[in-house]
Amino acid sequence: GEDVEQSLFLSVREGDSSVINCTYTDSSSTYLYWYKQEPGAGLQLLTYIFSNMDMKQDQRLTVLLNKKDKHLSLRIADTQTGDSAIYFCALGGYNKLIFGAGTRLAVHP
Amino acid sequence: DTEVTQTPKHLVMGMTNKKSLKCEQHMGHRAMYWYKQKAKKPPELMFVYSYEKLSINESVPSRFSPECPNSSLLNLHLHALQPEDSALYLCASSPLRHTSTDTQYFGPGTRLTVL
């Protein structure tokens, strides 16, 4: 079955860039997603990338997709304290999402 | 507008109670989902409704009973729950275009505590 892996924790200094990584085993998904979850809240769709793209930029967010290595990353430029949250990568399918375990991003001054 | 709303925000119930969780979306989406999320874990899919019909039940115990009264509303009826059912219950919806994927939008969740 599909497997999606993420590192569990990332700590960065405010103003630095954060890079959250995700690797997966199944390459049949058309879209790959990044969701953000703040404490006690639901999942917020941050961004997504179509599987035939290598990169997508959206303001402070940059998504890189390496299909050969089955590696997805999310870069957050100029990380702020409000970016502290859990970030889930997810592989999209029809009526389903396969989630990674989530990476907790901690931003410190 | 990509908003999915859920009520109540918090719910505390005893093991003999009957309660319901509600979810609503007005984006014209034709698929709606219930997920259960335990602390520090990703969401786990429970049920999917497609065109108001139950299309996926991930072997969820019968003490959880979903209902989709119309294309905008989704309920989850709860009865005789166990303390281990305490979790964040998330609702999501998606347009259900007939492609190989379908972007899901999540609500804020209901924090359920079973005593």
Q: List pLDDT tens digits, range A15-46.
A: 999 999 999 998 788 889 999 999 989 999 99
**How many Cβ atoms from other residues are within 10 Å of residue B65's Cβ?**
15
The number of angstroms, rounded, from the C-alpha of B16 to the middle of its chain's C-alpha atoms is 21
Which of the residues B101, B102, B105 would you substitute to probe the A interface, choosing the one with the greatest number of A C-beta atoms within 10 Å?
Answer: B101
Q: How far is CA A20 from the centre of its chain?
A: 6
Is the predicted pLDDT of residue B2 greater than 70, yes or no? no
Coil, strand or helix at B83: helix
Asked if A11 is an interface residue toward chain B (Cβ–Cβ < 8 A), one would say no
- Structural contact between residues A92 and B103, judged by C-beta atoms closer than 8 angstroms: yes
**What is the per-residue burial (b if ≥16 Cβ within 10 Å, else e) of A71-101?**
ebbbbbeebeeebbbbbbbbbbbebbbbbbb
What are the structure tokens assigned to B91, written together?
């609702």
Residue A95 has pLDDT above 90, yes or no: no
Q: Does position B65 have pLDDT exceeding 70, yes or no?
A: yes
Contact B100 A30 (CB under 8 A): yes
Q: Is the pLDDT of residue A1 over 70?
A: no
Q: Which residues pair with A85 in a beta bridge?
A: A105
Q: Do B43 and A40 touch (CB under 8 A)?
A: no
Gap between the Cα atoms of B107 and B115, Å rounded: 24
Q: Is residue A50 left, alpha or beta, with left meaning phi > 0 and alpha meaning psi from -120 to 50? A: beta
Cβ(B89)–Cβ(B17) under 8 Å?
Answer: no
Average pLDDT estimate for A68-94? 95
The amino acid present at A43, given as its one-letter code, is L
- Which among A31, A42, A95 has the least Cβ separation from residue B109? A42
> Over 70: is that where the pLDDT of B99 sits?
no
C-beta atoms of B106 and A97 within 8 A: no
What are the φ and ψ backbone dihedral angles of A41, each rounded to 5 degrees? -115, 175
| Whole-number pLDDT of residue B100 | 61
Identity at B79, one-letter amino acid code: H
Region A76-90 average pLDDT: 97
Are B100 and A33 an interchain contact pair (Cβ–Cβ within 8 Å)?
A: no
A-contacting residues in B 53-112 (Cβ below 8 Å): 55-56, 88, 90, 92, 94, 96, 99-109, 111
Does the pLDDT at position A66 exceed 90?
yes
Q: pLDDT value at position B1? A: 60
